[in-house]
Amino acid sequence: MKKLNSRRTFIKKGALASIAIPLLGSNLISCKSETQKEPNEAKTESKKLSILILGGTSFLGPHQVAYAISRGHKVSTFTRGKTKPTVHAEIFDQVEQLIGDRENNLKALENRKWDVVIDNSGRKVEWTKATANLLKDNVGMYMYTSSTGVYYPYLTDNISEETKLVLSMPEGLTEDEQYEQEYGVMKGNSELEAIKAFGKERTIVVRPTYMIGPADKTDRFIHWPIRLAKGGEILVPSKKEDPVQYVDVRDIAEWFIRLAENQQHGTYNGVGPKDAQTMQEFVKQAAQSFDVKSSFVMVDDYDFLIKNKVYYSVPWIMPHEKNYGSARISNSKSIAAGLTFRPLKETVNDTYNWWISDAITEERRQKFEANPNTLLAKEKDILESWKTLKS
Ligand SMILES: NC(=O)c1ccc[n+]([C@@H]2O[C@H](COP(=O)([O-])OP(=O)(O)OC[C@H]3O[C@@H](n4cnc5c(N)ncnc54)[C@H](OP(=O)(O)O)[C@@H]3O)[C@@H](O)[C@H]2O)c1
């Protein structure tokens, strides 16, 4: 089988904004030692928190802001003032919006106190080191938004929070391999800087897999809402048994706030769905979001897919070589710590409705929908070649 060397474009687009490639595991780990309270306990009266979000205006951030404010918490954001939210924009009137730059200007964070800081915008180890050290005496808890990318390469099917991470760049990687590896190394070391400054008891690390839902900047998942809404004969790249993992951004956002309310600490994979799912099950369930007739053609020959430059279609990532375990990551510890999952139908519907709304521009929609390199554009031709091959 050929190498997935053309995945680079995908990684380039998505990696620094998210994860290089996710993975999975199945260790059942008790979170009791790392939690101070029963996390699933219904909390009727939680303390009102003051929360600082480093970032807060792109994808995950606005959902955290909206949920935190709905629960009576006070929110400050810290950004360069460039990115504007495409969801919950109206709520930002109630947010203290601090301006600076993680690269070289943290002045707005000096001599201020918060209960919790959520570090969403950590793109460099140095950034997290600097903010964690600046805030450690004035803020109660540091929440670091990491990624399942820390487990890359995903070589096993037994990946859990206890899995050993690659923390330095291995020797002898090709340029493409370096690109795929460096995001996880950066996230893993950033986690350690947060813990070093705040201590284990005051740090929460959340490692989300692919987050999907309204406000996604990456256009990695939007293929499925658009394609399933049209119906008809749909190409599904995947062997029958290929697993998928993904998580609604809102489930992660809300869980962040509840983890803070519950004063938990520790490291958690932010991975859904709740139970193991194959790509075939995913498309069938997701299709229920639309009232149209669909049939699915499972294109299950990896060599054929590689020849046609189909290496992934999130949530499906071709599960071989370094990506074998990317959708085999344990979520048992996180579920025990209160991670919940909304129905897939709701995720797909809401994402589609956001995509066709005026929250995003026609130009952006066109850029994606008219791009000749997407699976959307290539589907018909690939299906024809597939049928010829199989006839
Ligand atoms: N998307 C996924 O599937 C996925 C999966 C796993 C993990 N993650 C991780 O999840 C996190 C959340 O990302 P998000 O974009 O959704 O978060 P977000 O908090 O909604 O937005 C990112 C924020 O970073 C700010 N920012 C960027 N550069 C900055 C700088 N130099 N100084 C100060 N602020 C800066 C941006 O505002 P300005 O541009 O105005 O500065 C923006 O508000 C990231 O750490 C990502 O790696 C994502």
Q: In the prediction, which pLDDT does 274 show?
A: 98
Beta pairing partners, 143: 118, 204
Residues in the chain: 391
With a 6 Å cutoff on the Cβ, whether 82 touches ligand 1 is: yes
> Cα(154) to centroid of ligand 1, in Å?
24
The candidate with the shortest Cα–Cα distance to 351, out of 239, 170, 228, 167, is 228
**Average pLDDT per 10 consecutive residues for the chain, totaling 391 residues:** 35 38 25 37 72 98 98 98 96 98 98 98 98 98 98 94 97 93 98 98 98 97 98 98 98 98 97 98 98 98 97 97 97 98 98 96 96 97 97 90
The whole-angstrom separation of Cα 71 and Cα 260 is: 12
Q: Report how far residue 196's alpha carbon sits from residue 203's, in angstroms, rounded to the nearest whole number.
A: 9
Question: What does the buried/exposed string (b/e) look like for 211-221 if buried means 16 or more CB atoms within 10 Å of the residue's CB?
Answer: bbbbbbebbbb
**Which residue's CA lies nearest to atom 22 of ligand 1?**
55
CA distance 333 to 381: 43
Q: How far is CA 390 from CA 242, 294, 307, in A?
A: 21, 21, 16
For ligand 1, atom 9, name the residue with the nearest CA: 18
Considering only CA atoms, which of 389, 28, 379 is closest in space to residue 235? 379
Residue whose pair of structure tokens reads 């096993």 in the numeric block: 156
Q: Residue 234 in contact with residue 228, Cβ under 8 Å? A: yes
Q: Where are the alpha helices (DSSP H) in 71-142?
A: 125-135
Instruction: Identify the three-state secondary structure at position 168.
Output: coil
Q: Rounded CA gap, 88 and 65, in Å?
A: 8
What pLDDT does 158 receive?
78
- Give me ligand 1 centre to Cα 391, in Å: 48
User: How far, in Å, is the centroid of ligand 1 from the Cα of 97?
Assistant: 15
State the burial class of residue 96 (Cβ atoms within 10 Å of its Cβ: 0-12, 13-18, 19+): middle
Which residue intervals of the chain are DSSP H helices? 8-14, 60-70, 125-135, 175-198, 223-230, 249-261, 279-287, 302-307, 332-336, 344-355, 362-369, 375-390
What pLDDT is recorded for position 35? 36
**Is 213 close to ligand 1, i.e. is its CB under 6 Å away?**
no
Ordered by where they begin, the domains of the chain are: 9-390 (3.40.50.720)
Phi, psi of 206 (to 5 degrees): -115, 130
End-to-end CA distance of the chain: 23
Atom 48 of ligand 1, nearest CA residue: 18
| pLDDT in the model for residue 323 | 97
* CA gap 135, 89 in Å, rounded: 27
Token pair for residue 88? 């919950």
Structure tokens at 310: 């189909």
Residue-wise pLDDT tens digits, 262-287:
999 999 999 999 999 999 999 999 99
Residue 349 carries which side chain, given as an amino acid letter?
N
Asked if residue 104 has its Cβ within 6 Å of ligand 1, the reply is no
Residue with tokens 């919940």: 340
The number of angstroms, rounded, from the C-alpha of 3 to the middle of its chain's C-alpha atoms is 25
Peptide bond into 153 cis (omega under 30): yes
CA distance 295 to 287: 10
Which atom of ligand 1 is nearest to 212's Cα?
3
Chain mean position to CA 344: 15
For 148-204, the pLDDT digits (tens) are 999 999 999 979 999 999 999 999 999 999 999 999 999 999 999 999 999 999 999
Two tokens, residue 98: 């601090």
